[in-house]
Chains A and B, each alone.
Chain A
């Protein structure tokens, strides 16, 4: 029956009228929502949420890093791929849900910093609070009797605290015989600096997205690239960038030197050791050309942008002639590296060929060999035995005039050229070799192999601000984590001479040592009971010894150091209450 009773009681409880709550209007609700959003608890949950939300972007390929891998992933995972894509899981850091987490965090940050700054400003202005009435209630306190008058002790104590970088409450504030001091307000200053600086960093990142741009281009050695919107292979401008007015400059890649590891064995064999591009740059029609060296960790600065060497590869120089021997095509043609041994893919588009346009597609292999299972492969990244392996197409190369990648051939309007035996024609070209194309289509020659430099041009108007913000955040963080906030209070109470007579005799004051003659002449038997107490923000195991040090310095200042026996009340150290 116990259960039934319990149930009855629960039912009774439910029947009771609900707790009357204040009725909230729209303003009330808004204020409630703001309070919730800016509370520390919410900030904490948002931080954890941000950490979790960032994870998928490191697991799945991302479009902003490598769009090719995303396409590849979608091709291989036809069932879950589209679903993941719909959830923006391939653009995590540009997705609405990720943005909502960090924007809420930003709002929470602002909502935390603004009122706290105001409160901190107020606290800095007003200084330490009044000394509490009952100091023995504070977590750490001590009592000490010194042989000096209250005024003298108060002055000495204020001096000691000031030297220990405490800020004192003005004596004139009418709190007779009491001292109040605090230190460590820089902790809150540091804390606010840290959080404000984070807002600055976020603003700098925003500036990069809105006004920054990035252009990538492949420049074969010996060729010049001019910075215009159409000069770039890919250009990703922010929404506020005028692509018609990019800063003008040009870069000629004079030579591109690359060395690879050929001594070590194992995974390090073939690892790159040096990428060096020698360039000639100009920053305008009138400017003199400058020869500069561009290496991996040393970008060029041109017209406010930075030019980085981010890639390299091979550009076979191919000549295509018609059957009369007229040159239809002669260019270093970049092929894009696919693996660490620079197996590279690309296309040669001979649009000048007639009556049908000719297209070649295939691979460039710097150190070519035929693997029994994988077919033609490269076994070393440098050009030890280069070969160009091509298949051939003819027909209409640009159906519908749509733009297409220069590294692949759109074969929709083309047919594959076959050799007389009916097999697809396959060309194997080594440097200097010319192959006659079947059916009177002319010839193709591999003249030689150039290297290309993959250049990336970046403009980021916010990067200086981001650096300043980040370093300020670090400075603020160090302040906010290392400084302790402490308050020390004291109440001074004059003791009647008779009550402590016996102490006076055995603690003679050294007359010469500490110099100051005050007190000495007036009444050497004056005594003061000092009740000192301290309190810290947070756990502070060193607070008790801080009070000890204050007492020691006070005695020294008063010239009482090492004089007399340990005062009996010294032992009364309290302990922090948890």
Chain B
């Protein structure tokens, strides 16, 4: 178990570069949103863009496959001339994603193991997962509108990683040296990445549905986003994909705990919070299926679940005393 400090150094440089590139990408996405708002004002284009400005929620053709395609295509076509900013931003996001992935791989090679042994490494790999998941989604459909809301938290997370969470490259604690570290934590990372995208979409959905009910007039850039129903389907789909992965994380963690500590469950703070997150998202899925609960309430539960993920990652890791004290801080 040797540590290669030079490679670790390169990993840090890649991480810092990724922050710069993604910050630039974020600017691109914001400019694109701002311009799209300006476009709405020009009557020539406004006539061609049937955006539901507080009108009916159901678009003609919204039921066709893929669900979001028609409305987005119309918006996209109308704004095509002005979307270089978004194009540049997507390209920069690809570059940024490659840099984070490179940083994670270099770090992994530097410490000869998987790059998720402490909070710095987890943040790095988690940011890579979120960005790659976003880009993967954007290959299948137009997701440029979501860029700002994905890249901003990623930049924040990376910034925290290289400052607050930073841990020197070093071998693992004995209790972490297990095959289950690979399984349990990698699935946790993918799951959290999907929950992050889902939370971003859900926040936008809540804002959009507020606008559609004519409650708010501000935020004209929201016109460039899909309507609330489309956002809701996307958010729900992401949650549905993430939840079984989180369930698996919970089970794999229990199996590992059985092997390492002799008990699959002993109410360690980290276990408790993983369980709380699971229960809250389970409540979300139930709320979706319960008559009498509005989409809004269900989505608020989902956001509470994401709040629990943040608490689990920050407060629980850093301040609560337990057997998962691996933050490296």
Contacts and interface: CB of A to CB of B under 8 A. Distances in A.
Interface of A: 40-41, 43-44, 47-48, 50-51, 54-55, 57-59, 61-62, 64-66, 69, 92-93, 139-140, 205, 214, 261, 263-268, 271-275, 295-299, 306, 308, 310, 456, 458, 460, 463, 466-467, 470-471, 473-474, 477-478, 481, 538-539, 541-545, 573, 575-576, 578
Interface string B147-178: 00000000000000000000110110111011
A53 to B, nearest CB: 10
B264 A40 contact: no
B7 interface: no
Interface of B: 1, 3, 57-58, 60-67, 167-168, 170-171, 173-175, 177-178, 180, 229, 233, 236, 240, 243-244, 247-248, 251, 254-255, 258-269, 272-273, 275-276, 279-280, 282-283, 285-287, 289-290, 292-293, 301, 308, 316, 320-322, 328-329
A252 to B, nearest CB: 20
Nearest to B166: A266
Nearest to A55: B276
Contacts of A306: 262
B177 A296 contact: yes
Contact of A41 (B3, B66, B264, B290): B290
B244 A41 contact: no
Contact of B175 (A65, A69, A266, A297): A297
Contact of A470 (B3, B168, B254, B289): B254
B65 A545 contact: yes
Nearest to A191: B289
Contacts of B244: 474, 477-478, 481
Contacts of B316: 58
A92 B233 CA distance: 38
Contact of B293 (A44, A59, A271): A44
Given A44-B290, A58-B269, A308-B262, A140 B301 contact: no
Given A268-B328, A275-B174, A541-B66, A57 B283 contact: no
Given A41-B292, A267-B328, A458 B262 contact: yes
20 contacts: A40-B286, A47-B282, A47-B283, A48-B279, A55-B272, A265-B168, A267-B329, A268-B328, A272-B173, A272-B174, A273-B1, A273-B171, A297-B175, A458-B262, A478-B244, A481-B243, A539-B233, A573-B64, A575-B61, A575-B63
Contacts of A266: 167-168
Q: Please name the 7 residue pairs, one residue from A and one from B, whose CB atoms are nearest each other, closest first.
A: A541-B67, A58-B269, A545-B65, A308-B262, A47-B283, A58-B272, A268-B170
A50 B251 CA distance: 19
Contact of A456 (B177, B178, B262): B262
Contacts of B286: 40, 43-44, 47
A263 B5 CA distance: 12
Contacts of A477: 243-244, 247
A274 B174 contact: yes
A463 B254 CA distance: 10
Contacts of A58: 269, 272-273, 316, 320, 322
B260 A57 contact: no
A40 to B, nearest CB: 5
Contacts of B265: 205
A539 B57 CA distance: 14
A47 B279 contact: yes
Nearest to A94: B267
Contacts of A545: 64-65
Given A44-B287, A47-B282, A267-B167, A93 B233 contact: no
Nearest to B277: A51
B267 A65 contact: yes
Which of A54, A92, A265 is the most central at the interface, judged by chain B CB atoms within 10 Å of its CB? A54
Contacts of A267: 167-168, 328-329
Contacts of A93: 267
A410 to B, nearest CB: 28
B263 A64 contact: no
A299 B168 contact: no
A543 B177 CA distance: 48
B154 to A, nearest CB: 25
A62 B243 contact: no
B262 A310 contact: yes
A92 B57 CA distance: 46
A296 B280 contact: no
B267 A62 contact: yes
Among the interface residues B1, B64, B66, which one has the most CB atoms of the partner chain A within 10 A?
B64
B264 A466 contact: yes
B60 A575 contact: yes
Contact of B263 (A55, A272, A458): A458
Contact of A295 (B174, B233, B293): B174
Contacts of A64: 266-267
Given A275-B174, A477-B243, 18 more contacts: A40-B286, A43-B286, A54-B272, A55-B276, A65-B268, A65-B322, A69-B321, A268-B170, A273-B173, A296-B260, A456-B262, A474-B248, A481-B240, A481-B244, A541-B64, A542-B67, A543-B63, A544-B64
A48 B173 contact: no
Nearest to B283: A47
A65 B287 CA distance: 34
Contact of B260 (A263, A274, A297, A474): A297
Contact of B170 (A271, A474, A542): A271
A450 to B, nearest CB: 20
Contacts of B273: 58
A140 B63 contact: yes
B167 A268 contact: yes
Contact of A273 (B174, B258, B280, B287): B174
Contacts of A539: 233, 236
B279 A50 contact: yes
Contact of A471 (B168, B251, B266, B329): B251
A561 B101 CA distance: 48
Contacts of A470: 251, 254
A169 B244 CA distance: 33
Residue of A50, A481, A538, A541 with most chain B CB atoms under a 10 A cut-off: A541
A57 B267 contact: yes
A219 B114 CA distance: 34
A41 B292 CA distance: 8
